[in-house]
Amino acid sequence: MSEMEIQKIISHYAKDHEPRVRKSALDSLVQMHLRGCPLDLSIYHLSVSALRDDYEEVRMGGLNLMGVLSSLYPEHRMKLAHEEVNETARLIDDAFNKVCDLVNDAAVIIRTKACVMMASYQNVGSDMLQQTFSKQIMSHLKRNVPRYKMQQKKYAHGMIPVAEGDFDVESDEFHLLDSGACGAFIHGLEDEYQEVRYASIDSICELCLYNEELTKKAVENLVDMFNDEIDKIRVNAIQSLRKIGSRSLVEFDEEQLEIAVGALEDSDPLARHATHDLFTVVRLTQQNTMVTLLEALEANMKRYPQDTLSIYRSLGRVGKRHDDYIENLIPTFLKLDKRYLPKEANVDDSMYTAYVILIANACVSNMKLLNTLPKYIFRHFAYFKSKYPDCLPDLNKLYKTAGIQLEGDVDCLPMIFSESEKRLVANDAEIYMKATEDMLQAVQTIIKSNDRYELALVTLEAAARNFKYIASLKPVDAGKSDLAQLYIECYKIMIKMKANHLSSNLSALVHQDAALLFKHTYTIEHTFLGLPMNTLHAAAHFRVLATKQRVELVQKNFQSNTALDDLKSNLIKAIELPNTSNLSTLYSFITAMKRTSAIITYPLPNSDKPYKYKSTYPIKIDIEADIFNADDINCIAIELILPNQSSHLFWPAPSHFKPITPFNYKLCTHIELQLPAWNETGSVSIRIVLSFEPDLPGLDEYIMAPGRTAYSVVSEPVNYLIHPKK
């Protein structure tokens, strides 16, 4: 039999008296389509009939078949079932109306399925989509009836007696299409079952991505869903509206904003953070509502301090969208008065930070604002850019585009250099480098005199400062500068040990000096990417001074290096006479490299509001950090140091590291620790560390930190106040 004949036979059973047979016939037609058999348009009437079936399984089969035919023949013109006019409508429009009509079905599963299917009708006419948000039939869906037809119906059965008087069901017009689409989404969003409401929100979001003119109606209805009693419904409405705003303009008036900021009081952090993201795509229609938004965000930060970073990130986008409002609010934000000189604000104030982020990002959209700002705020731009790099724009790019040059303290104010000035800076860096190398050469001569160790140490201090300055001139060399400073610290320790040895004044801090030497050399070896073999050898040579056993270990690890044999004999003499010749060529063997580092972005220091909780439960602290230049995330750990200086290490799962760029990650995790009750508030220190396997695990770990895992600290600590209470 041909495919057409098979479809006719199956279609016959779609009208069987047994509902299971009807359902099976409809499912079989859908299966034929899925297996590559083209369905004939003539079976469309089967899906229409099935939608009115008494059994929900059959209606479900009819929906599935209608969805298939809508995708196969969307533009097919169908003659309307009305006799009065000779007009046609697209099949996709007719099918959409039929699907919308089932939003009022008695079965929850059918209503949910209908709401889900509505999302697939992106090519339905705009007027038809608008009808889903209105319970009133639009005039363009009606047609005038010829006068003679109206008279015939008037005397036939066109009048219905009602209490208010005879009502003409036809009047002078009739509905061109079924009114199934009328108010479909309104009914879906008001449904008593959360499955239907959730599906309605999803479909609204999907249709708005393809029909921008639907957005305004969607905003009005989705904002109302922010007050839904079910958590996941509220979050879905917020996230869907943010998704819509990423494609088209979403505007909030005063009333809508009042509803939206109410979500900031939600106990669910997912809802609050979703609301922060929503504000990044919203345009406020009135300037006074900007103040309302900022007051709500301030209350959010006070009630939930852990939301601070999320709020700052959202304010960056808010500033770019509202530069006109912010321009008028700058005097209020910065408390400027033309009668007085501007007073520098406290950078630790959370709301002042929010204002600076708003202003900096508003300058991206309106660069004229830069000329109206007090001078001190440019220092604050630089400070907050280093503290919250994701929240402020690229300042150098901003200043360059605006064509302004700032003068002042180079450590605080960014400078814009011309090409000639860049060459001068490069030359200056080279001059400092050459001078530093000469200083290091002089150290060798200085330490030959047993009584001039203090001068050698002063010279090394000056060399370290030079390396810091070179890094400020050429930020690209920051990694080299860090390495050079650590290398110098190692030599300073060796000189101190030599001085104590010659004076027979063995310091009680010998063990501490040895621990520092091990700490610095392991930091060099394990926290820098791109180290050449010579540098790794140099770090190992310092540790060789500890034990003879290590000499054999290092020799085994670097068998291919012939220079080690030559250095071996000199290492034994180094205790009596430290050799600094390698230091003079330090820069020559340092190639392009980057240091492993981390910045803890959450939690923030909470000196103003300690975290208090019952000690019967373990403390849970969410941790967010940016990890830079890490080649093995399995070595990254979080260290928590308690007030009694006890240390606890936590190892995040690999899935908690989100790759951003090669070797750079975003860490989002949490730590839990059971603590006894404390009598008062105490400060715990949180920091990121990088663990490694030492040369001689038992000995080295004892020297560096008895009883601890060998690691190097790669982040600045965050001091977090807690108070476990009984």
CA 99/CA 50 separation, integer angstroms: 12
- The answer to whether residues 289 and 203 belong to one domain is no
What phi, psi does 602 have (nearest 5°)? -155, 135
Tell me, what's the pLDDT at 355? Answer: 95
| Domain presence at residue 109 | yes
| Domain presence at residue 170 | no
Instruction: Provide mean pLDDT across the span 178-186.
Output: 76
Encode pLDDT of 537-564 as tens digits: 666 666 665 455 455 555 555 554 444 4
Per-residue tokens: 306: 């852990």
Ranges of H-type helices in 388-418: 395-402
Is the model's pLDDT at 625 over the cut of 70? yes
Tell me, what's the pLDDT at 537? Answer: 62
Tell me, what's the pLDDT at 527? Answer: 74
Tell me the CATH number at 669.
Answer: 2.60.40.10
Encode pLDDT of 377-401 as tens digits: 888 888 888 888 889 998 888 888 8
The more confident residue out of 497 and 277 is: 277
Q: Which helix (H) or strand (E) holds 118?
A: helix 108-118
Tell me, what's the pLDDT at 695? Answer: 63
Is there a contact between 271 and 234 (Cβ–Cβ < 8 Å)? yes
CA 713/CA 337 separation, integer angstroms: 46
- Asked whether the bond before 603 is cis by omega within 30 degrees of 0, the reply is yes
Is the model's pLDDT at 718 over the cut of 50? yes
- Of 708, 675, 676, the residue nearest 691 (C-alpha): 708
- The answer to whether residues 76 and 208 belong to one domain is yes
End-to-end Cα separation, the chain, in angstroms: 82
* Triad 216, 222, 270: Cα angle to 5°: 130
* Triad 232, 101, 28: Cα angle to 5°: 90
Tell me, what's the pLDDT at 555? Answer: 57
Residues in Cβ contact with 4 at an 8 Å cutoff, skipping those fewer than 6 apart:
40
- The answer to whether residues 185 and 322 belong to one domain is no
| Domain presence at residue 453 | yes
- The answer to whether residues 328 and 181 belong to one domain is no
CA 150/CA 92 separation, integer angstroms: 31
Torsion of Cα atoms, 314 then 317 then 319 then 321, to 10°: -130
For the chain, give the mean pLDDT: 79
List % helix, strand, coil for the chain (3-state, nearest 5): 55, 15, 30
Tell me, what's the pLDDT at 115? Answer: 94
- The answer to whether residues 515 and 609 belong to one domain is no
Tell me, what's the pLDDT at 691? Answer: 86
Is the model's pLDDT at 671 over the cut of 90? yes
Q: What is the pTM of this model?
A: 0.58
Tell me the CATH number at 236.
Answer: 1.25.10.10
User: Which segment of 160-164, 535-539, 631-635, 654-658 scores lowest on mean pLDDT?
Assistant: 160-164
Is the model's pLDDT at 87 over the cut of 50? yes
Instruction: Provide mean pLDDT across the span 185-212.
Output: 92
Is there a contact between 513 and 699 (Cβ–Cβ < 8 Å)? no
> Mapping DSSP to helix (H, G, I), strand (E, B) and coil, where does residue 540 land?
helix
Task: Kindly state the DSSP code that residue 405 receives in the 8-state scheme.
Answer: -
Is there a contact between 319 and 282 (Cβ–Cβ < 8 Å)? no
| Percent share of the chain, pLDDT over 70 | 72
Tell me, what's the pLDDT at 244? Answer: 94
Positive/negative CA dihedral, 262, 264, 265, 269: positive
Which residue reads 């909470």 in tokens? 606
- Of 311, 317, 278, the residue nearest 296 (C-alpha): 311
| Percent share of the chain, pLDDT over 90 | 38
Radius of gyration of the chain (CA): 37
- The answer to whether residues 439 and 553 belong to one domain is yes
- The answer to whether residues 357 and 226 belong to one domain is no
Positive/negative CA dihedral, 306, 312, 313, 317: positive
User: Which segment of 113-117, 402-406, 452-456 scores lowest on mean pLDDT?
Assistant: 452-456
Per-residue tokens: 457: 């140490």
Tell me, what's the pLDDT at 148? Answer: 46
CA 487/CA 464 separation, integer angstroms: 9
| Domain presence at residue 351 | yes
Is there a contact between 26 and 58 (Cβ–Cβ < 8 Å)? yes
User: Which segment of 58-67, 168-177, 332-341 scores lowest on mean pLDDT?
Assistant: 168-177
Encode pLDDT of 128-151 as tens digits: 888 888 876 544 444 444 444 445
DSSP 479-528: HHHHHHHHHHHHHHHHHHHHHHHHTT---TTHHHHHHHHHHHHHHHHHSE
Tell me, what's the pLDDT at 255? Answer: 93
- The answer to whether residues 455 and 503 belong to one domain is yes
CA 549/CA 483 separation, integer angstroms: 27
CA 359/CA 57 separation, integer angstroms: 59
Q: Which residues of 277-292 are buried (b: 16+ CB within 10 A; e: fewer)?
A: bbbbbbebeeeebbee
Strand 619-628 versus strand 597-602 pairing type: antiparallel
Residues in Cβ contact with 239 at an 8 Å cutoff, skipping those fewer than 6 apart:
274, 277, 278
CA 66/CA 44 separation, integer angstroms: 7
Which residue reads 């009509």 in tokens? 101
Tell me, what's the pLDDT at 422? Answer: 46
Tell me, what's the pLDDT at 417? Answer: 42
Per-residue tokens: 248: 């088209």
Residues in Cβ contact with 168 at an 8 Å cutoff, skipping those fewer than 6 apart:
154, 158, 159, 160
- The answer to whether residues 395 and 425 belong to one domain is no
Residues making up the chain, counted from first to last:
726
Is the model's pLDDT at 171 over the cut of 50? no
Distant-in-sequence contacts of 35-43, Cβ < 8 A, 24+ apart: 37/3, 38/3, 38/72, 39/7, 39/68, 39/69, 39/72, 40/4, 40/7, 41/69, 41/72, 41/73, 41/76, 43/7, 43/11, 43/14, 43/69
| Domain presence at residue 146 | no
Is there a contact between 673 and 618 (Cβ–Cβ < 8 Å)? yes
| Domain presence at residue 409 | no
Q: Most confidently modeled of 164-178, 229-243, 584-598? A: 229-243
Tell me how many domains the chain contains: 4
Is the model's pLDDT at 26 over the cut of 80? yes
Tell me, what's the pLDDT at 458? Answer: 76
Q: Which helix (H) or strand (E) holds 722?
A: strand 718-725
Which residues pair with residue 724 across a beta bridge?
A: 613
**Which domain-ending residue is among 572, 607, 638?**
572
CA 74/CA 338 separation, integer angstroms: 66
Q: Categorise residue 518: left if φ over 0, alpha if ψ from -120 to 50, beta otherwise.
A: alpha
CA 309/CA 350 separation, integer angstroms: 10
Q: Which domain holds residue 499?
A: 419-572
pLDDT band at 464 (very low <50, low <70, confident <90, very high): confident
Encode pLDDT of 241-291 as tens digits: 999 999 888 999 999 999 999 999 998 888 999 999 999 999 999 999 999
| Domain presence at residue 513 | yes
- The answer to whether residues 619 and 533 belong to one domain is no
- The answer to whether residues 349 and 454 belong to one domain is no
Tell me, what's the pLDDT at 708? Answer: 60
| Domain presence at residue 582 | no
- The answer to whether residues 280 and 341 belong to one domain is yes
Burial of 137 from C-beta contacts in 10 A (0-12 / 13-18 / 19+):
middle
Encode pLDDT of 647-658 as tens digits: 999 999 988 998
pLDDT band at 667 (very low <50, low <70, confident <90, very high): very high
The more confident residue out of 158 and 11 is: 11
